[in-house]
Amino acid sequence: MGRYVLRRLLQLLPVFVGTTFLIYLLVWAIPGDPFAGKCGDRLCPDSYVNAMREKFNLDDSLLVQYGKYLANLVQGDFGETFSGIEVSELIANAYPVTLKLALVALVIEGVIGLVAGVLTGLRSGGFLDNLVLVSTLFLISIPVFVTGFVLQITLGLWWGIIDPTVSAEATIPELIVPGFVLASLSMAYVTRLTRTSISENRRADYIRTAVAKGLAPRRVVGVHLLRNSAIPVVTFLGADLGALMGGAVVTEGIFNIRGIGGLVFGAIQTKEGATVTGVVTLLVIVYLLMNLLVDVLYAVLDPRIRYD
Amino acid sequence: MGARGVVSRLALAVSVALLGTACGQSEDSGAAQDSAISVYGTEPENPLVPGNTTETGGGQVVDALFTGLVEYDPRTAEPTNAVAESIETTDSRVYTITLEDGWTFHDGTRVTAQSFADAWNYTAYSPNAQQSASFFAQIQGFSDVNTQDPDGSDGPQEAPQPAATEMSGLRVVDDLTLEVTLAEPFAVFPTQLGYSAFSPLPEAFFADQEAFEANPVGNGAFRFVSRQPNANIELTRYEGYAGVKPKVTDVEFRIYETVEAAYSDVVAGNLDFLEIIPSSALAGNLYQADLPGRSLSQTYLGIQTVTFPLYDPRFANPDLRKAISMAIDRDAVNQQIFNGLKPPADGYVAPNVPGRAEDQCGELCRFRPEQAKALFDSTGFAGPIELTSNADAGNTEWMQAACTSIGNALGRECRFVPVPTFGEFRTAINAGEMSAIYRSGWVADYPSIENFLNPLYRTGGSSNDGGYSNPAVDATLAQADAATSEEQANQLYQEAERLVLQDVPAIPVYFQSVQAGWSQRLRNVTVTPFRQLDLDTVEVA
């Protein structure tokens, strides 16, 4: 197991270099000069444009630019934005907020999704099953921004239960509604995955054996059934954390959460290559680590899976 | 509208009641001593240095932190002396500026004539790469401190090192007297002095610029407290301020990712002031129901035009340009797209600008489809008419509408071909590569008719992107610049405006307007002609 983890960690290196390079390339492939619209409807002075181009190495070829960027990055220097703010400071402000939001969303989708999935999986075909089926279908069919605006307007403006936006501190209670919005789609998937998995495994031989052995129903469901049904769900949840972090652009915009979604979106618009590359690289790393964690969890859930 | 209006009003009443009970106590106890307000803001695009800030996000912070020699009346935009006690000239070329004693920077140092001279020299000096350098172009000796890159910023050559670091036209007579000599007479110079690029800078700036950028020190009514990127910028009242002290004690510029979120916060009472209403709330004037008695709509110093790329020979015939101007139904555009909030333009100069004359454009800016068609047919213009704009800032709807109006009136296909982003759009304009008639906006830097003409329509003007050139216009503008009195200058500028309008290098379409909304806490709200909340007079209930 140790060697397997080490090998997987080493694989991160080429992926890291490859993704940063691709992202760097892509940012500069966006048409338009970053300083063309900088002075509004007025032409920026040459001296300003020259100084900025030199400061951000924009006169070098893309490969040289990337080389300089990577050399700084290895030393822990993420570079700075056009307005002179350290990218590392932006990341340090935004990452914890997004991570908090993603975890809140993950807990919500995990708890609600699993409970609903298990309940409906055990009693498939009943009233509850149909109700959950319809409501998950409903959730899947609504785009996130609709859920977001509807909850913001009803809970925030009409009933005044929550503030319509999240403060700069972004405390956990403030993030529950945005987290629910972010989780709504995945929650429906988790419910359906769990339900299918449970109702399939319920007819499996080992469950029949367990029941025939005379085990208590609680133990049959809680240990044998759940543990085996959890594998696809865990895969989904693990991959979803990365998706939740990267995909929060819309939710963050609606609730004015100062996370990485808005940071990346704004940076792409203004062609702040250093910010985009820095943030997305960290996202890639989170994604890879989560996948590794999921793979390791497999072995824990299913003793038949061995990695060495 | 009816049912929705009732529901939203009911909802508002309920939410206000809930809010009132929820936070009534804390607000009552703190209202008297502590009157902090929060204002919508966007992330500054540059460090908070006056000479390098040209956009609104950083601009409104810089304006609160600094006070120049002159400031503008929050209602009429008329310039009045601030740090200056008097500005005197006999020939519009040599200005003797006397400073009022008693002004200090937030670090306690005095504001002297040297603070201004140093700041202006710094901004003008081209190796310092400040965005607003060109504002000092009128001062004698500017060309010695500011050199141009011979082949533009894309070419391999570099700009030569300037011969001097200080402009010869700036002379510090004593601590409180500054003598400014301009290269050519320029009657509007005193008005220009209120623009933020003309702010003074303290010695601390020149000692350690990085420390200054992290903690800006100005001489304005508010001083810097803290800044969290992408979250907020906090200022507090400067008790040693020599001007009229504001009523509020603290101001937080809160940065929002979307205007929609900020608007929700204003409706819920979490944000005190917002000067942009999102289009979702403008539809059917919903914002007036959401914010009863707490919103306004007024014009400011901005105009929306469409410009002809005159370097393209297809647009060389003035009759063609006149025909297209008369083919736009400005009233219909205003009513159908903007709910009547953006008045049709009748000239190049926005309303309320000192020196402006009414209806300069006359018939050329009215909807005259038959006349337009006859004129258009006589030009023999071939092919479809193309209009373009950037698509990322809500301009597509009215451009589309104008295009439809042109197409219907002239009986020729009109295509609207948008460009995705403002950056791309400006890249093509700067490079002189436009092949279609393009949207162009202008927001004045300082309130004068001059600012709507010289930069845009003079040969080689700093924003004359279409390449317009008319010797008669240049001569009249030069004459106006050299006028000895403001009235005489304004009359000549008006004459120049009429001359330009006869050539129609750009079609005036509508005057920009601002829609602002505020929370129930604010009293005495004034929105300046610069689209900002007047922080000096606003009060908290």
Say whether residue A155 is in contact with chain B using an 8 A CB cutoff: no
Q: What percent of chain A has pLDDT over 90?
A: 20
Residues in chain B: 541
Query: Helix H segments across B416-468?
Result: 422-430, 454-457
Q: Which two tokens stand for residue B350?
A: 């926005």
With contacts defined as CB-CB under 8 Å, which chain B residues touch A48? 52, 129-131, 133
Instruction: Please check the confidence at residue B14 and state whether its pLDDT lies above 60.
Output: no
Q: Residue B198's pLDDT is what?
A: 96
How far apart CA B263 and CA B256 sit, in angstroms, is: 10
* Confidence at A26, pLDDT banded by 50, 70, 90: confident
- DSSP class per residue in A83-146: TS-BHHHHHHHHHHHHHHHHHHHHHHHHHHHHHHHHHHHHTTTSHHHHHHHHHHHHHHHS-HHH
Q: Residue B32's pLDDT is what?
A: 43
pTM of the model: 0.85
Instruction: Please check the confidence at residue B30 and state whether its pLDDT lies above 70.
Output: no
Query: Helix H segments across B90-248?
Result: 113-124, 142-145, 189-192, 203-207, 209-214
pLDDT mean across residues, chain B: 89
Instruction: Please check the confidence at residue B439 and state whether its pLDDT lies above 70.
Output: yes
Mean pLDDT calculated for residue range B483-508:
93
Asked if B257 lies within 8 A of A93 by C-beta distance, the reply is: no
* Confidence at A12, pLDDT banded by 50, 70, 90: confident
Mean pLDDT calculated for residue range A144-166:
89
Instruction: Please check the confidence at residue A8 and state whether its pLDDT lies above 50.
Output: yes
Q: What is the pLDDT of residues A28-85, one digit of tens each?
A: 777 777 787 777 777 788 888 888 888 888 888 888 888 888 888 888 888 888 888 8
Q: What is the pLDDT of residues B49-60, one digit of tens each?
A: 999 988 888 999
How far apart CA B357 and CA B350 sit, in angstroms, is: 10
How many CA atoms within 13 Å lie on the side-chain side of B395? Answer: 26
Q: Which ipTM value was assigned to this complex?
A: 0.83
Counting Cβ atoms within 10 Å, is residue A280 exposed (0-12), middle (13-18) or buried (19+)?
buried
Q: What percent of chain B has pLDDT over 90?
A: 73
* Confidence at A239, pLDDT banded by 50, 70, 90: confident
Say whether residue A102 is in contact with chain B using an 8 A CB cutoff: no
* Confidence at B371, pLDDT banded by 50, 70, 90: very high
Nearest residue in chain A measured CA to CA from B305: A41
DSSP state, B182? B
Instruction: Please check the confidence at residue B411 and state whether its pLDDT lies above 80.
Output: yes
Maximal C-alpha separation, chain A: 84
Looking at the DSSP assignment, which residues form a beta bridge with residue B295? Answer: B517
- In three-state secondary structure terms, B508 is strand
Nearest residue in chain A measured CA to CA from B303: A41
Q: What is the pLDDT of residues A97-123, one digit of tens each?
A: 998 999 999 999 999 999 999 989 888
Q: Residue B160's pLDDT is what?
A: 85
pLDDT mean across residues, chain A: 86
Q: What is the pLDDT of residues B359-368, one digit of tens each?
A: 999 999 999 9
* Confidence at A230, pLDDT banded by 50, 70, 90: confident
DSSP state, B507? E
Q: What is the pLDDT of residues B154-169, one digit of tens each?
A: 667 778 889 999 999 9
Instruction: Please check the confidence at residue A273 and state whether its pLDDT lies above 60.
Output: yes
How far apart CA B510 and CA B517 sit, in angstroms, is: 22
With contacts defined as CB-CB under 8 Å, which chain A residues touch B126? 45, 47
Q: Which of A229-233, A239-243, B21-25, B411-415 has the lowest mean pLDDT?
A: B21-25
How far apart CA A71 and CA A78 sit, in angstroms, is: 10
Q: What percent of chain A has pLDDT over 70?
A: 99
Instruction: Please check the confidence at residue B21 and state whether its pLDDT lies above 70.
Output: no
Highest mean pLDDT among A65-69, B371-375, B391-395: B371-375
Show the beta-strand stretches assigned E in B194-311.
Answer: 222-228, 232-237, 250-255, 273-274, 295-307
Instruction: Please check the confidence at residue B63 and state whether its pLDDT lies above 80.
Output: yes
Q: Which two tokens stand for residue A253?
A: 């915009």
CB B157 within 8 A of CB B150: yes
**Which of A83, A93, A252 is the closest to B45 by Cβ?**
A83
Instruction: Please check the confidence at residue A306 and state whether its pLDDT lies above 80.
Output: no
B-proximal residues of A, 41-80, CB under 8 Å = 41-53
How far apart CA B456 and CA B435 sit, in angstroms, is: 19
**Which of B134, B213, B257 is the closest to A84 by Cβ?**
B213
> Hey, of B267, B290, B426, which one would you mutate to test binding to chain A, going by the most A CBs within 10 A of its CB?
B426
What residues contact residue A164 under an 8 Å CB cut-off, 6+ apart?
Answer: A152, A156, A157, A255, B261, B264, B265, B267, B268, B270
Instruction: Please check the confidence at residue A27 and state whether its pLDDT lies above 70.
Output: yes
- From A49's Cα to the closest Cα of chain B, the distance in A is 6
Say whether residue A262 is in contact with chain B using an 8 A CB cutoff: yes
* Confidence at B33, pLDDT banded by 50, 70, 90: low
Tell me how far the alpha carbon of residue B232 is from its chain's centroid. Answer: 22
Instruction: Please check the confidence at residue B6 and state whether its pLDDT lies above 70.
Output: no
Q: Residue B306's pLDDT is what?
A: 95
* Confidence at B272, pLDDT banded by 50, 70, 90: very high
Q: What is the pLDDT of residues B288-307, one digit of tens each?
A: 999 999 999 999 999 999 99
* Confidence at B5, pLDDT banded by 50, 70, 90: very low
Q: Residue A308's pLDDT is what?
A: 60
